[in-house]
Structure 1
Amino acid sequence: MDVQPASRNRMTINPHPQHGNHTRDNGVKAEASPGPSNLVRTSRTHNELHKELLLAHKKGLALSSRSELQQALERRKRVQSDREEEGQSRTPLEDVLLRRQQKQHEKEKEEGEKVQEEAQLMEFVRVRQNLRKIHSAIQNKAAHS
């Protein structure tokens, strides 16, 4: 199989390497004496790239016409749908454990709110006691004067 560039962005595959341009046995055109080591390197990389392109084309991984934004949005939708499916595929044990965990978080939250309310209440009581002391001190001074 010989690969010949048909246009700038498209490549065609010539199934009959005998017809058309003369090539060496590895399918790479021989240029005017580039040197044997350069030709070997070029032909290896060319063959590797050609194989990679063929595999990508067979798998359907050829360059897509979608923009990066569209691809990112599709990827995000796939991830979200995977998460939703994962949430729906829970076992009954996982559901029970999740409910217990949620209840425990709610209890901890309620306890935290109670502690905060008690702290505020204690502060209120202390302020009230201080006001009583100040008020009684003022009344004692007024009574003694």
Structure 2
Amino acid sequence: MSVDRTSSITPPVQKSDEEWRAQLTPEEYRVLRQAGTEAPFVGEYTDTKTVGVYRCRACDAELFRSEQKFDSHCGWPSFFSPLAGDAIIEREDRSMGMLRVEVLCANCGSHLGHVFSGEGYDTPTDLRYCINSISMRLEEA
């Protein structure tokens, strides 16, 4: 897994803090723009099996397909691969006293969740993109 260890990310969609606050609900803003996390097992897409494309709730960019979603029993929607290699940005996250890999929308820089590897999931990539439901919107096929 490649990790962008740079701290400067300049996504194509740029908005002021005021514009993001006007567009997003307070909870969406907290997760997408402040790297928050929704509580486990409460997100609208945690258990859904609906076929479609998951899009960034902030900018509508395509992120994941339902075919890459799997049930990891972790409390958040899990995917083994993003829609395309350039749909997301991965960067080192040392918050909360641990080393993780944060997942951001490549189009607008919004926080989506984290990616984990080596957990023994029976998936083609052995990766788990653990994504907040509130960071996405499902466009049904």
TM-score w.r.t. length of structure 1: 0.19
Larger radius of gyration: 1
Q: Which has the higher contact order (CA 8 A, sep 6+)?
A: 2
TM-score by length of 2: 0.19
